Structure 1
């Protein structure tokens, strides 16, 4: 009886781990989608309304969902807490520190590059930088969706299979 309970616990734990990996893939797609939406809002706010950066960061943080909201809140916090930090550094720190978005190093790099242009150049240059970053993130999102489609079910199935294999060996 104790072996059966142990086997069920092993199967459950391995299944949860596999599903956790699948959820990470799903969350990455969600983060990229949210970032693209937020940057699109940012582009229209900068080009049409000339909204100042701190106010814009606050506005986008209020309108965004959790992983993207955290990024913009972190950026605003870095910008307002330490007055010596430039906007580009605050943006870069926020991109690197917001691990809940589960972005790859290439995606973080693309996001960090955008911070070098925002608030520094004229509106047309900022619009161009935002458009370029949105296009890059859309490419990364397409790859992430493909990876989620291919690997999501595999991760969940591998978790269950590994749990079953260990349980069979135990019993």
Structure 2
């Protein structure tokens, strides 16, 4: 009886591990899409609203779902806090603290870091060019993430179940 309960627990744990990994593959393209949407809103705020950057980032954080919203709210909080931090410093700090909560990978982080180093340091047109360039880079990464999702999502689920089944067979 105890062996049977242990086998069920191992099967359940292995299956959940596979499904959690598959969920990360599914979350990455969705989060990149959310990030691209947030940058489109930032572009609009810069171009038409001429809104101050902390306020624009706060507005974006309100519309974008977590965990992406956390990045923008942290940057806005840091800029509005009066700590004297530059946009670049605030941006890098938010990426360092909040990136682990996302499913995105290094190429997306590098694109955002490059954008953060140029925002607030140049004219409006130059900033718009950098935002558009970052959106193009993110769209490319989203396509790659979708390919990766199609390739590995189902395999992760299957490996979780089959790996757990193998462990159960070896236990018995």
- More displaced 10-residue stretch of structure 1: 83-92 or 73-82: 73-82
CA contact (8 A) 2:54 2:77 kept: no
Question: In the comparison of the two structures, how many residue pairs are matched?
Answer: 171
Distance in 2, matches of 1:12 and 1:82, equals 50
Q: Secondary structure at the match of 1:66?
A: coil
Q: CA deviation at 1:27?
A: 1.5
**Pairing of 1:12-161 with structure 2 (within 5 A):** 12-81=12-81, 83-98=83-98, 99-161=100-162
Pairwise CA RMSD of aligned residues? 1.1
Give the TM-score, by structure 1 length: 0.95
Runs of 4+ in 1 over 3 A off after TM superposition: none
- Cα distance 1:82–1:158, how it changes in 2: closer, same or farther (>3 A)? farther
Structure 2 gap segments, 5+ residues each: none
Q: Which runs of 5+ in 1 are unaligned?
A: none
Deviations 1:19-61 (A, max 9, x none): 1111111121121010000000100110111110011011001
How far apart in 2 are the matches of 1:25 and 1:79?
33
Mapped partners of 1:57, 1:167: distance in 2? 51
